[in-house]
Amino acid sequence: MIPRLKDKIALVTGGGSGIGRATCLRMAEEGASVVVTDMNEAGGHETVAQITASGGAAWFDRLDVADEAGWQGLIAAIRARHGRLDILVNNAGILIMKPMLETSLDEWERIFAVNARGVFLGCKTAAPVMIAAGGGAIINISSIYGLIAPAGATAYEATKGAVRLFTKGVAAELAAHNIRVNSVHPGVVDTGMTEAFLRDAAVTDRLLGPTLIRRPAQARELANAILFLASDEASYMTGSELVVDGGYTSQ
């Protein structure tokens, strides 16, 4: 069987842990050369080490997704090294679980810088490379909190809602260039970001809420969904929302 991403060049932000690492590993398994980025250099290098130990191809670049110059330098490096970019996964994000009245302006601006500005900069800087190559696929990681808005995470919900609609707008703008742009909406996922919440069974049960599959998702389950959107199997999908939430939003 031919690997689904054979000879593709994929860039994954936040690839040093969690969903990002799992996505890097799955894409490498399917034949992609993976550019791993993260602020966490140790985690990013560990992801690369895992890929290369299994015979895959990957390299690491430290990236603050909120920094435009950093994005420009990374895309220039990808151009020089590979000549093109086929897949972008805007995965990097931070989580602030606070009610609006307890959220500081600094926290509001920081979470928007990473979760929303980072996605904008990724799409803006990567799109010209994809256009030059004749097309590509962009996957932006939102959340079920980009679809619904329970109390207690207002700033996070605002950023993920922004990612959802931004994705649709970019899909409309880039369709003529053969670039598909979709969003993924995870429910509760067992990663380093949620580890502190999931240590307590009662808290886990509360976070799962109406989830029909009564457990958190594993990062690889999200990576499989992202892989699908990146592959030609999703060739007729753009501007779509792929919800991977164990049935949370079905109720």
Would you please indicate which residues are annotated as catalytic (active-site) residues? 156
The contacts of residue 169 (CB under 8 Å, 6+ apart) are none
* 90-177-59 Cα angle (round to 5): 40
Indicate if the alpha-carbon torsion angle 121, 193, 205, 244 is positive or negative. positive
Residues in the chain: 251
- Nearest to 184, CA basis, from 66, 30, 20, 64: 20
The contacts of residue 83 (CB under 8 Å, 6+ apart) are 133
Q: How many CB atoms lie within 10 A of CB 82?
A: 17
| Three-class SS state of 195 | helix
Burial of 65 (0-12, 13-18, 19+ CB in 10 A): buried
Q: Cα 36 to the chain's mean position, in Å?
A: 12
